[in-house]
Structure 1
Amino acid sequence: MGILSGLFHSRDKPKDSTNGSNYRFLFGGTTSGNRVTEQSAMQMTAVYACVRILSEAIAGLPLHLYHYTETGSKEKAIKHPLYFLLHDEPNPEMTSFVFRETMMTHLLLYGNAYSQIIRNGKGEVIGLYPLMPNRMTVDRDDKGQIYYQYLVSDSDAPTMKEGTVNLKKEDVLHIPGLGFDGLVGYSPIAMAKNAIGLSIATEEYGAKFFANGATPGGILEYPGTVKDPDRVRESWNKGFSGRNSHKVAILEEGMKYTPISISPNEAQFLETRKFQIDEIARIFRIPPHMVGDLEKSSFSNIEQQSLEFVKYTLEPWLMRWEQSINRALLSPNEKSTYFVKFNVDGLLRGDYQSRMSGYATARQNGWMSANDIRELENLDLIPVEEGGNLYLINGNMTKLADAGIFAKGGKEQSDEEVLEVEEPDESEGTDNGEDVVSQRDNRRGKLV
C-alpha cells in the first residue's frame, strides 16, 4: 500500500521538466564533462539547425479554422474570431508565424509549449501570449484539478502582474511533448544530454586545436634543473601559441622542444564530429540531408526523404498542435462543428511533372475543376462564365444510374421478360423472319 500511495501521489502532482521534476537531475553535467542546458545546446550547429527546421516548418504551414456545413462538406470559418488569431495575429505584438515559431522552439527544447489565453466577457478568445516553459509549473489542487503556476518577470507581456500567478487550465494553451504521464512533456535536450555533451566536447577540442595553430602539445627538455617550470611554460605558450604559432623559436642553454604528434584522424576527431551530427538529427527525426549531411543522399532518394520528413516527422507534431488547439480554444458546443487543420499540400506537391500528371488525372475524372488546379498553383482563376468551375469527364463514361438495369429502376430482367413484349406477327408484312428478329433484337437492346 505504501508503494501504491506513493505512485498515486506522484501522479497527482506532475511537475514541469524544468521545475524540479523527478528527472531534473538529467540536466546539467554530462559524462563528457560539459554542462548541457537548453541554451548551451542551441550553440551546437546541429541542434540549432534541427530546431530551426522544425519550428520554421510548423510556422510556415497555412493554419485554418474550418466548420462543417449543412451538407456535410467543410469550408473555412473566416468570420469566426479565432480564424484571424490563428491565421494572422494571435496578439498585437507578433504575427502568426512568429508565435508558432516561438511555441515550437519551446516544445523542442523544453518539451512543453505554453500560451496564455485571453478571453472577453463572452468567453471568446481574443489573444494568445507565449509563456516561458522554464518558469511554469503544473500542479493539482485539493480537488484534483490541474492548474498552472507561472513566475512572471518584467520581460513578459503586460497581461499579468509580477510575481507568481496561478492560471486555470481554461486559461492556458498547453502543447505537451513526449512524456511519461500524458500531462507534461520531457525535454529532448535533457534526455539526450550525453550525446549533445559529446558534440560540445568535440567542438571545443577542435576549436582549441586550431587556436593553437593546429599544433599538438609538446615537451621542453632542459639539460639542467628548471628552477621555475611554470614561468618557462607560460613564456613558451605566450610566445608560440595562438596567433603567435608557427613562429621561429630560439632555444638557449641546450633546451630542446619535442612535439607530441597525435593527428586528429588517429583520435577519430572528424569521424566523431560527423557521427554526432547524425546522432542529434536522430533525436529530432530530421533527415541528415536537411542538416547538411549529403553523404548518403542522392538525386534518386532525396525527394523521397523529403516526403518521409512530412509524413513521419511533421505529422505527429501537427497532430499535437491541432488537437491541443481544438481542446483549449473551442467551446464544447463548437467542437462538434469546428476544427483546426494545417495544410501540408504544398510540401507534398512533388516536382512539376508529377503535379501535372496528377492534375490531369483529377481533371479527366471529374473531381477537380480548372480553378481548383489553378488555385493550388497560385494562378489567377478563370471566370465562372468562362467555365472555370466546370467538372468534366471523358465522353465514353456515363452515370451509373443511366447504365444497364439501373436505368429501369434497378430491377434486373430475365431474357423471358425481355421477350414478353408486343411482337409483330411474323406473317404480316414480311416474307421471312429477318425483320422480326431485327426488331426483337433492337427492342431487347433498349431494355437490357
Structure 2
Amino acid sequence: MTQTKQKPIGRIKASVLQWLGVPISLTNGEFWDAWLSGSNWSGQRVTVDSALQLSTAMACVRLIAETISTLPLGFFEKLPDGTRKTAVSHPLYEILHSQPNADMSAVTFWEVVLASMLLWGAAYIEIRRIGTRIVALDFLLPEKMQRPRRNRAGEIEFWYTNPDGTRRQILESDMMHLPAFSVDGISGISPIAYGANVFGSAMATDRASAETFKDAMRSPGIVTMDSVLKPDQREDIRKHVDKVSKTGGVMVLEKGAGFHQLTFNPADAQLLSSRQFNVEEICRWFRVPPFMVGHAEKSTTWGTGIEQQMIAFLTFVLRPWCVRIEQGVRKSLLNPVERNRYFSEFAMEGLLRADSAARASFYSAMTQNGIFTRDDCRILENRPPMGGNAAVLTVQSNMMPIDLLGQKTDSAAAKDALNAWLNQSPKGNE
C-alpha cells in the first residue's frame, strides 16, 4: 500500500489557498470540485452543499434516499426446487439487513449511499474482512475519492484521502463501487456537476427574489409634504408612521401630507413565477414528479389516481436505484460460487406498511389465488403462524380450468350419486 503525505485543506476556500501559496495536488478532489464548480451561466458557485440549500433539491434527494433506505433489504438463498428462503445463517444477512458497520444502522447506511449516488454520481463502500469473511461495510466520503480509472493491467484503481491527509489505494476486490447513470461504465454522472446551469439559475433567482423582498419591505410607503421639514420633524413623522404600522390605528398627518404605499412592479412579480419553473427543472434532474415535493401548481401527467402515480414512481424512479444496489451486492460481495446460490432484494411491499387497506387487498388477492397461505400473511404481519389449514394453499372454489367448464367436478358427481342412492332407498331403511 502506497501513501503520500499532503496538507489537509478542510473547507477553506480554494481561492484563499491559491493566494496563500498552499501546494495543491492534482488528485485533491475536494479542492478541484470547489475550484471548478463555478462554471455555469449564472455565475453562481454550485457545489453539493450549495445545491442542497435549494428546497427542491433537498426534497428530491430526501424523498428517494429515505424511501429506499427504509425498505427491507432481504438476503435469500435459492433452493433446488426453484423456491427461496431467507439466508439468516449467512454473514451478509445481518450486515445488509440490520447493521453494515459499528457506526450506522442499515437505514442510515443505505440513506447516505443513495444520497452519494444522487449527488456525486457514485457511492464508494470499503469491504472489511477477517480472512475471507466479510464483517463490515464502511461508507467512504465521495468528495475524498479520486475519480476511478483503469490502469495498464486492466484493473480499476481507487485512491482515497484519509482525514489526516494521507492518500491510500484501495484494491478493487475491497471496494463496492455503485455508479449512478454512466456513459463509460466506470464513473457515474453527477447531477450537480452536469446540471450546474439549472442549479445555478435557481440560486440566482432565489437571491434576486430575496433582494426584491428585502428592498420592498424596507419601506412600507412614502410620505409627501407641501413644505420643507426640519430633521426633527422628519423623525417625528417616521416614528408616527412606524407606531401606526406596528400597533394599528389611524395615521394622522398635517400640512397637506399624503401617504403613498409601495407595491411590487410587474417585473418583480414575474420573478416569483420563474422560481416555480425552477422547481420543475430541478425535479427533472432527479426524475421526481413535482407534486411529490409539494409543487402542486400544475396537474400531473402520471395518471389520474394516487395509486397510478405511486405505481409510476415505484417503476420509473425507485426501482432503477434498487436494482443498482442489488446487482452491486452480487458483483462485489459474493464470490463466483455464491452468485448462483444467493441474492439480495428490496421488499417493495414494505411501502404498504402505512396503508392497511392496500395491504389487506394485497393479502386477499395472494391467498385467493393460491400464492400465499394464511400463515404466510400472518408472518408478514409479525403474528405467529396457526398451522393446520392456515398453512394450506387455497383458491376460490369457482375457479377451474377452461376445458372443464360445463362438466361436473368430482365432488359434485359424488354429491349427486349420494342423493340418488338416498332417493332409491326404502323408507324403512332411512
Which of 152, 167, 172 matches 1:142? 152
Matched with 1:70 is 80
Which of 40, 58, 74 matches 1:30? 40
Q: Tell me, in whole angstroms, the C-alpha distance in 1 between the residues paired with 2:67 and 2:181.
A: 19
Matches within 5 A, 1:237-252: none
Q: TM-score, normalised by structure 1?
A: 0.69
Q: Tell me, in whole angstroms, the C-alpha distance in 2 between the residues paired with 1:328 and 1:111.
A: 18
Shift of 1:400: 11
Q: Tell me, in whole angstroms, the C-alpha distance in 1 between the residues paired with 2:40 and 2:61.
A: 21
Matched with 2:378 is 374
Matches within 5 A, 1:410-429: none
Matches within 5 A, 1:150-299: 150-154=160-164, 163-214=166-217, 263=265, 268-297=270-299
Task: Output one character per residue of 1:302-332: Cα deviation in whole Å (capped at 9) or x when no partner.
Answer: 3321221111001111111111111000011
For structure 2, which runs of at least 5 residues remain unmatched after alignment? 1-25, 223-237, 247-259, 410-430
Which structure is richer in relative contact order (CA contacts within 8 A, separation 6 or more)? 2
Q: Are 1:90 and 1:129, in contact at CA under 8 Å, matched by a contact in 2?
A: yes
Matches within 5 A, 1:336-347: 336-347=340-351
Shift of 1:364: 2.9
Shift of 1:217: 12
Distance 1:355 1:261, change over 3 A: closer
Q: Are 1:106 and 1:133, in contact at CA under 8 Å, matched by a contact in 2?
A: yes
For structure 1, which runs of at least 5 residues remain unmatched after alignment? 1-14, 155-161, 220-238, 248-257, 408-448
- RMSD (CA atoms): 3.8
Q: Tell me, in whole angstroms, the C-alpha distance in 1 between the residues paired with 2:272 and 2:305.
A: 26
Distance 1:403 1:119, change over 3 A: farther
Shift of 1:275: 0.9
Q: Tell me, in whole angstroms, the C-alpha distance in 2 between the residues paired with 1:16 and 1:336.
A: 39
Q: Are 1:19 and 1:135, in contact at CA under 8 Å, matched by a contact in 2?
A: yes
Q: Tell me, in whole angstroms, the C-alpha distance in 2 between the residues paired with 1:49 and 1:364.
A: 40
Shift of 1:270: 1.5
Q: TM-score, normalised by structure 2?
A: 0.72
Name the aligned partner's letter for residue 61 of structure 1. Answer: L
Matched with 2:317 is 313
What SS does the corresponding residue of 1:147 show, helix, strand or coil? strand
Name the aligned partner's letter for residue 165 of structure 1. Answer: R
Larger displacement relative to structure 2 (210-219 or 36-45): 210-219
Q: Tell me, in whole angstroms, the C-alpha distance in 2 between the residues paired with 1:61 and 1:134.
A: 27
Q: Tell me, in whole angstroms, the C-alpha distance in 2 between the residues paired with 1:353 and 1:341.
A: 25
Q: Tell me, in whole angstroms, the C-alpha distance in 1 between the residues paired with 2:28 and 2:295.
A: 31
Q: Are 1:307 and 1:348, in contact at CA under 8 Å, matched by a contact in 2?
A: no
Distance 1:194 1:383, change over 3 A: same
Distance 1:352 1:153, change over 3 A: closer
Task: Output one character per residue of 1:142-199: Cα deviation in whole Å (capped at 9) or x when no partner.
Answer: 3221120111114xxxxxxx51101111111100011221100111011111111111
Q: Are 1:110 and 1:133, in contact at CA under 8 Å, matched by a contact in 2?
A: yes
Name the aligned partner's letter for residue 166 of structure 2. Answer: G
What SS does the corresponding residue of 1:114 show, helix, strand or coil? strand
Distance 1:49 1:372, change over 3 A: same
Identical aligned residues as a percent: 35
Matched with 1:83 is 93
